[in-house]
Amino acid sequence: MRKFGFVGSLLAAAVLAIATTGPALGGFDQAGYNDTARLFNGTGWSWCMDKVGDAAWCNAYLGMYKNDKLIMKWNGEWDRGNAENWANGPYSAWLTNEWNGRFKSGSGSVWHYKYIWVGLDGTASPYWRDGGYLIWGEFEVIMDQGQDPAYGPGHWWFAHAKPNGFGPQS
């Protein structure tokens, strides 16, 4: 399951590092991005091939999760942070990753992540919430939970910050 958590974190990092481009009319592109709606609706494979472009790497990295459905959502502050290389905070930025592999050719996993910007002060930031964990130096995972048969039976929580919602700024 930790590998799956890392996959989710890598996906969020890709959104941080690489601005996506959608079709001129604001619909979904071939990979599954709709920048106008701030939504990705595709698979682990379509995301990886769009961002990394190396089939051998994507296959090795994603493994059994490559066919899983992936929905990512983010707000305008996430776009602003990416455009500014996260240099002009504060940001009310958030991102979600929702994995669903509960179908015949999927992994059987269902997992959900929520990320927020907390700033360079990390856990000392006024935006920090108890119950999450810090990634990439200035982001907090406020929710990391789900089920994965490869990890074991039951429902797992690795982050459950309080409050767990994005708040009125979103």
Domain coverage including residue 78? 2-17+32-160
Compute how many other C-beta atoms are within 10 angstroms of the C-beta atom of residue 151.
16
pLDDT of residue 147: 97
| Tally of domains in the chain | 1
Residue 27 lies in a domain: no
Residue 63 lies in a domain: yes
Reported as type and span, the H/E element at residue 151 is none
Residue 170 lies in a domain: no
pLDDT of residue 133: 97
User: Whose CA is closest to 65, among 97, 94, 37?
Assistant: 97
Residue 22 lies in a domain: no
Q: Is the dihedral of CA 75, 77, 81, 86 positive or negative?
A: negative
Integer angstrom CA distances of residue 100 from 67, 91, 129 = 9, 29, 27
Q: Tokens 């490869």 identify what position? A: 150
Structure tokens at 55: 């089939």
Under a CB-based contact definition with an 8 Å cutoff, are residues 70 and 55 in contact?
no
Residue 24 lies in a domain: no
Residue 106 lies in a domain: yes
Give the residues of the chain that fall short of pLDDT 50: 1-2, 4, 6-7, 10-22, 169-170
pLDDT of residue 164: 87
Residue 23 lies in a domain: no
pLDDT of residue 25: 60
Distance between CA atoms of residues 83 and 15, nearest Å: 11
Q: 152: buried, middle or exposed (CB in 10 Å: 19+, 13-18, 0-12)? A: exposed
What are the respective helix, strand and coil percentages of the chain, to the nearest 5? 25, 30, 40
Q: Amino acid letter at 110?
A: V
pLDDT of residue 18: 42
Please tell me the pTM assigned to this model: 0.81
Name the packing angle between helices 2-17 and 55-62 (round to 10°): 140
Structure tokens at 123: 């856990």
Structure tokens at 146: 């789900």
Residue 41 lies in a domain: yes
